[in-house]
């Protein structure tokens, strides 16, 4: 089998070309959003994983992807910038606006019911709500400030628009890193969302939804950090 990837490629670039790689990376806990600027080999070694095995599995799944003609999926590296932005807002921003309030309710409930016997819930509650506050502000900044400028930049590029946009882009990218730190903190607090024997239905659902939140944010931040933002930066170079 011809190998498409040899491990020297950056993680974010791999997922940008082959979105299915995100499933493997999530399984082995390789950060492909905020940590997407590392090479795959670097990430493998940092995690003490089997380099040969990971690269083999990546190439095998990529070959299957090609054979199933999955390339008909939207390639966000070349699709119109406005379409990518609309997809991010309609899919990932909409998801956060729906799920964050629900998670807040669930965590409040389990803190009241189980907090006395599980002190880690209080730490989880605080960390989640800090992330929620950051994300609420982040979505507004993107939708009201950055995204309109990126659409304008795609239609009518100018030196002035590029420089104003780049500064805001870097600021929001730093916020992505802070969210990534928060996701890691919540995993540590909960021992990878391991449920205690006395977990009730709400407790179980809250942990399931937190894991889903992490997965969606990985995809969300990947699209921005590794696809949308580099396309804007490329305008600066031209």
Reading the block at residue 10, the tokens are: 């950056």
Q: What is the chain's percent helix, strand, coil content, to nearest 5?
A: 75, 0, 25
CA distance 56 to 19: 17
CA distance 228 to 221: 10
Phi, psi at 100, each rounded to 5°: -60, -45
pTM of whole model > 0.95? no
Judge whether residue 238 has pLDDT over 80: no
Give the pLDDT confidence score for residue 35 in this predicted structure: 72
Question: So where are the chain's domains?
Answer: 11-72, 81-237
Judge whether residue 71 has pLDDT over 70: no
DSSP code of residue 39 = B
Higher-pLDDT residue of 112, 18? 112
- Span 229-237, mean pLDDT? 73
Judge whether residue 235 has pLDDT over 80: no
Judge whether residue 76 has pLDDT over 70: yes
């Amino acid at each position: 089998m011809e190998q498409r990837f040899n491990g020297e490629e950056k993680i974010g670039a791999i997922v940008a070309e082959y979105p299915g790689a995100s499933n493997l990376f999530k399984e082995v806990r390789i950060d492909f959003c905020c940590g997407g600027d590392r090479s795959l080999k670097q990430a493998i070694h940092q995690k003490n994983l089997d380099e040969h095995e990971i690269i083999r599995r990546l190439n095998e799944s990529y070959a299957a992807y090609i054979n199933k003609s999955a390339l008909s999926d939207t390639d966000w590296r070349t699709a119109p910038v406005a379409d990518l932005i609309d997809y991010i807002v309609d899919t990932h921003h909409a998801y956060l606006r729906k799920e964050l309030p629900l998670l807040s309710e669930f965590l409040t409930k389990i803190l009241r019911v189980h907090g006395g016997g599980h002190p880690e819930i209080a730490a989880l509650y605080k960390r989640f709500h800090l992330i929620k506050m950051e994300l609420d502000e982040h979505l507004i900044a993107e939708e009201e400030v950055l995204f309109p400028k990126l659409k304008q930049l795609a239609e009518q590029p100018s030196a002035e628009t590029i420089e104003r946009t780049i500064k805001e882009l870097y600021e929001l990218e730093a916020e992505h890193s802070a969210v990534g730190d928060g996701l890691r903190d919540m995993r540590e607090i909960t021992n990878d969302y391991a449920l205690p024997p006395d977990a009730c239905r709400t407790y179980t659902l809250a942990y399931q939804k937190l894991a889903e939140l992490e997965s969606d944010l990985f995809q969300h931040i990947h699209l921005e950090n590794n696809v949308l933002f580099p396309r804007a930066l490329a305008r600066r170079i031209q």
